[in-house]
Structure 1
Amino acid sequence: MALKGDLRRSPIAHRSSWARIRDRVNDFTGSSPSRFAILVFTFLILVFTLLFSLPAATVTGERADLADAFFTAVSVICVTGLATVDMASHWSLLGHVFVYVGVQIGAVGVLTLASILGLAISRKLGLRAKLIAASDSNPMRAHHGPVSESQAVRLGEVGNLLVTVALSLVVIEIGLAALLFPRMLIDGIPLWDAIWNSFYYSAMAFTNTGFTPNADGLARFENDYWFLSILMIGVFLGAVGFPVIYALQKQLLRPRLWSLHVKLTVVTTLLLLVLGAAAFIILEFDNPKTFGTLNAPDTVFQSLFLSMMTRSGGFATIEIPDLNGSSLLVADMLMFIGGGSASTGGGIKVTTIAVLFLAAVAEAKGNPDMEAFGRRIPGDVSRVAVSVVLWGATIVALSTVTLLHITKAPLDHVLFDVISAFGTVGLSTGLTADLPEEGKVVLAMTMLLGRVGTVTLAAAVAASQTSKLFRRPEERPIVG
């Protein structure tokens, strides 16, 4: 009889233990979603490092060097596109499958992924899980009041946002692949290779990763404007961000109803695309190694393509080292800005630079408030934007100094590859492929910090405000 009693109690004890574990995970994820996201992110990198270390993952059947496997795992999960090996010839079909799956995981965002894992553990999308996902779409969520709820996605709509993330990832990539597939058949690519390459390119475009499945990269398609235009569309859709996609799919034809975040993201993205292309036209039209031999329409198109890809796409139809130094600096600026918030792109985000510009305009006009599209932007938003920029600049500066010391390479090349890593762009001057092991570790950490650092810092800064019962005497230092 005692045995039966023990058997009856054991399931209850088991459920109680599982419930305690689940409650602890929920408490941790709710109290610190950013730290939970970083733990999940780190775990994924370790898993994919092991996967890329498998002998079956390489063409030769030999175990990949640990530094190369680690760097590839970080680049894949961070959807960066930088590589220390020839991605097309080094990895086997299984290795490319790992790449394909990894970029899909990395594309959804660390906090969104964390919320999905939290949902799997708790079996429901509770308030904490919603807060985790909301933090990825809007780090300012930690503030109270109408500021947070007037953003692109309200807290009650987070469940729908997660559905949008999953559906857009599938639908957009299938649509891009369907447009690329017939073009590949016309170019004489075998049927099965055309199917695989179509889905591979569509995934690398939408996730803003930029890997190519063939050794010669885009050389085969450098004059195929249909193919390149599809890649640009995929990169643009990935770079505007899932909250913007979610808002546009509801109000695409009613721009007057768009939230301030959506308007700032779309307008700033298009403005940077045009200004970047204009800069490349002016700086490269007489460079025989890049656009100097092209006619006017081709120069305009290739400049637009380069402007889009330096924002976060990572594809290139020209050799990056052939660009003039002035063009490399313009590319550095575009890569540092990156894509939209909660997007597959990296960088400090377009809304961050937009807010800083609006703050500068307000100061120049003597206006106490930042205003855009008939809305007032609170001052705490600009403080978060400044923090994000300073954090990003610090990462870039430290990584650049360290790699300059390690490699003794030219400053413009080191700076370009470092910002490319921080902005998860994937373009390279050739420096990355020749890095020693310690250099690979430095650049890998730059990719990791670039992917999760700015969001984490923004969330931390937004949540760090405390109420005070007193204010100290005011005194103005001299600035400028």
Structure 2
Amino acid sequence: MHPTQLVAMAFTVIILFGALLLMIPTATNSGESTPFIDALFTATSAVTVTGLSTLNVETHWSQFGHWIIAILIQIGGFGIVGFATLVGYLLDGRISLKNKMLTTSEASIAVAPDIKSLLKNIAKVMLFFQGLLFIFLFVRLLTHYNYSTADALGHGLFHAMSAFNNAGFALYSDSLIGFARDGWIIVPIFMTVIIASVGFPVIVEIRDRAKCYLAKLLKKPKPFAFPAQWSLNSRIVLWATLVLLVGGSIAIGFLEWNNPKTLGPLDPVSKILDSIFAAVMPRTAGFNAMDMSVVNPSSWLIMDILMFIGGASASTAGGIKIGTAVVLFYIIYTEIRGEAAVNIGNRRLPRSMQRQALTIVSLAAAVVIGATVLLRLTTNFTLDEILFEVTSAVGTTGLSTGITAQMPDHAKFLLSLLMLFGRLGPIVVATSLALRKTKRHFEYPKERPLIG
């Protein structure tokens, strides 16, 4: 079986199994079975680490249901990174030495590991940051909010898993609005989301370079041999993340600064903090510290853009990915300048990568537009509400204007498909394009049609 088919099949099976578990009466507080479409929607949202929900997560699901959702989130988050790495290794249909060298070079890993070692390292990184956030949340909930030890443990662990996996599920009906003024809750969560969104290769390079720098300070032999220049992937991801974070915070802060229903009544420090939080979450965690249903439509549009871009490749974030957006920007920049080759940071991009970026963006845009038109024709919601919901599903973000629960069954099923596409689409499309190498033994004559 083709690796990309294996990935799609594995996630589909996990989603269906999760939906069946969520239909068990024990999974609900009422003791009644959840309708299949709602159970399927919730399972899809959890496995694709999206966060959209047609039901009230706090009141509908029992503790057993919450643990099922948490396990599905963890499987989905680890599975995406793990499967993406596995597919990267299997691009030639086998684990070749060439593939190992290319993959470890891009990930800036000094010693080429086998798949088992690489997945083990991914698990270590995930558990480390989840454990760190869990400690922050557990202590804060226990000491400041007077939670019982069991509740502090459960809530801290659930939200730590949800945050690092960029899932956006919260055990509160208003997401994190109740903690909006608490920096000890908000700041660790959005810092964890940012770290998770930069991707495993970047985290590994930062970690290993930090080890080398520490060894240099202590005048000990370096554990790794790194070039002075950071890898192109890390440079793209870190700089683009900074630009999107600063730009998104300024744009949302400017649009919502005097909105009496969101930032208007707050002090300047709280306004800035909430603006940063609102710019981080669309890429692509889905928590919210302000009511999305009352923000300005212009802010929805800014968030649509952030959700469409998403986070970095080989991360738990969704969207078309930062690397794809940056490559597209440089393709346009190169064409405007009239240059022949696309260059980023003293490196030349291969033409195959340029075609992949254009294809991924075009397919994602076509899916968003098509789904938006279809839902606009078959539901009574406004265009900006539908566009926000569809972009959130395709970008696996989980933010909503509040219309998810009101969607008819066909719309819920369509959003489920969009979430699965958003999580698998970029991987499947990119690897499929890389795997298809059709050789022509002839070329057609050139002709230039009119464009532009």
TM-score (norm 2): 0.90
Match of 1:330 in 2: 302
Q: 1:147 to 1:375 in 2, by over 3 A?
A: farther
Does the Cα contact within 8 Å between 2:89 and 2:103 map onto a contact in 1? no
1:184 aligns with 2:141: yes
Structure 1 unaligned residues grouped into runs of 5+: 1-27, 115-129
Q: 1:215 to 1:327 in 2, by over 3 A?
A: closer
Does the Cα contact within 8 Å between 1:207 and 1:344 map onto a contact in 2? yes
Match of 1:17 in 2: none
Match of 1:43 in 2: 13
Query: Please, which moves more after superposition, 54-63 or 143-152?
Result: 143-152
Overall identity of the aligned pairs, in %: 37
1:161 aligns with 2:131: no
Query: Please, which moves more after superposition, 144-153 or 302-311?
Result: 144-153
Q: 1:448 to 1:224 in 2, by over 3 A?
A: same
Q: 1:150 to 1:378 in 2, by over 3 A?
A: farther
**Distance in 1 between residues matched to 2:25 and 2:195, nearest whole Å:** 36
Counterpart among 112, 123, 132 of residue 175 in structure 1:
132
Q: CA deviation at 1:145?
A: 12
Match of 1:312 in 2: 284
Counterpart among 351, 360, 363 of residue 391 in structure 1:
363
Q: Which amino acid aligns with 2:349?
A: I
Q: CA deviation at 1:152?
A: 2.3
Match of 1:225 in 2: 183
Query: Please, which moves more after superposition, 397-406 or 275-284?
Result: 397-406
Q: Which amino acid aligns with 1:66?
A: F
Match of 2:30 in 1: 60
Q: Which amino acid aligns with 1:69?
A: A
Residue 348 of structure 2 aligns to a residue in which SS?
strand
In the TM superposition, 1:88-103 aligns within 5 A as 88-103=58-73
In the TM superposition, 1:127-206 aligns within 5 A as 132=87, 134=89, 150-152=105-107, 156-157=112-113, 159=115, 160-185=117-142, 186-206=144-164
Residue 89 of structure 1 aligns to a residue in which SS?
helix
* Structure ID, larger Rg: 1
Residue 107 of structure 2 aligns to a residue in which SS?
coil
Output the aligned Cα RMSD.
Answer: 2.2
Q: CA deviation at 1:150?
A: 4.5
Q: CA deviation at 1:265?
A: 1.0
**Distance in 2 between residues matched to 1:214 and 1:144, nearest whole Å:** 45
Match of 2:273 in 1: 301
Does the Cα contact within 8 Å between 1:423 and 1:447 map onto a contact in 2? yes
Q: CA deviation at 1:300?
A: 1.6
Residue 312 of structure 1 aligns to a residue in which SS?
coil
In the TM superposition, 1:107-126 aligns within 5 A as 107-110=77-80, 112-113=82-83
**Distance in 2 between residues matched to 1:147 and 1:393, nearest whole Å:** 30
Residue 261 of structure 2 aligns to a residue in which SS?
coil
Query: Please, which moves more after superposition, 452-461 or 103-112?
Result: 103-112
Match of 2:390 in 1: 418
Q: CA deviation at 1:131?
A: 5.2
**Distance in 1 between residues matched to 2:22 and 2:309, nearest whole Å:** 31
Match of 2:54 in 1: 84
Match of 1:34 in 2: 4
1:415-453: CA deviation from partner (whole Å, max 9, x where unpaired): 001100111100101111111111110111110111101
Does the Cα contact within 8 Å between 1:161 and 1:246 map onto a contact in 2? no
**Distance in 1 between residues matched to 2:322 and 2:155, nearest whole Å:** 31
Q: Which amino acid aligns with 1:176?
A: L
Aligned length: 430
Q: 1:216 to 1:430 in 2, by over 3 A?
A: closer
Q: Which amino acid aligns with 1:132?
A: V
**Distance in 2 between residues matched to 1:289 and 1:384, nearest whole Å:** 42
Q: CA deviation at 1:216?
A: 3.9
Match of 2:420 in 1: 448
Q: CA deviation at 1:391?
A: 1.0
Q: Which amino acid aligns with 1:75?
A: S
Match of 2:221 in 1: none
1:184-217: CA deviation from partner (whole Å, max 9, x where unpaired): 1222222211111111111111011111113343
Residue 289 of structure 1 aligns to a residue in which SS?
coil
1:19-72: CA deviation from partner (whole Å, max 9, x where unpaired): xxxxxxxxx2xxx10001101111101100110011111111111111111101
Does the Cα contact within 8 Å between 1:239 and 1:340 map onto a contact in 2? yes
1:378 aligns with 2:350: yes
1:282-304: CA deviation from partner (whole Å, max 9, x where unpaired): 21112111112223222221111
Does the Cα contact within 8 Å between 1:320 and 1:428 map onto a contact in 2? yes
Q: 1:288 to 1:438 in 2, by over 3 A?
A: same
**Distance in 2 between residues matched to 1:169 and 1:258, nearest whole Å:** 23
Q: CA deviation at 1:331?
A: 0.5
Q: 1:48 to 1:327 in 2, by over 3 A?
A: same
Q: CA deviation at 1:93?
A: 0.7
Structure 2 unaligned residues grouped into runs of 5+: 214-225
1:78-97: CA deviation from partner (whole Å, max 9, x where unpaired): 00000000011111111011
Query: Please, which moves more after superposition, 199-208 or 255-264?
Result: 255-264
Q: CA deviation at 1:153?
A: 5.8
Does the Cα contact within 8 Å between 1:111 and 1:133 map onto a contact in 2? no
**Distance in 2 between residues matched to 1:442 and 1:284, nearest whole Å:** 31
Does the Cα contact within 8 Å between 2:48 and 2:419 map onto a contact in 1? yes
**Distance in 2 between residues matched to 1:311 and 1:110, nearest whole Å:** 16
**Distance in 1 between residues matched to 2:81 and 2:87, nearest whole Å:** 6
Does the Cα contact within 8 Å between 1:161 and 1:242 map onto a contact in 2? no
TM-score (norm 1): 0.85
1:156-205: CA deviation from partner (whole Å, max 9, x where unpaired): 44534312211112111111101121111222222211111111111111
More helix by share: 1
Q: CA deviation at 1:396?
A: 0.9
Q: 1:419 to 1:371 in 2, by over 3 A?
A: same
**Distance in 1 between residues matched to 2:102 and 2:451, nearest whole Å:** 29
Q: 1:184 to 1:172 in 2, by over 3 A?
A: same
Q: CA deviation at 1:220?
A: 2.4
Q: Which amino acid aligns with 1:425?
A: T
Does the Cα contact within 8 Å between 1:251 and 1:257 map onto a contact in 2? no
Residue 281 of structure 2 aligns to a residue in which SS?
helix
Match of 2:404 in 1: 432
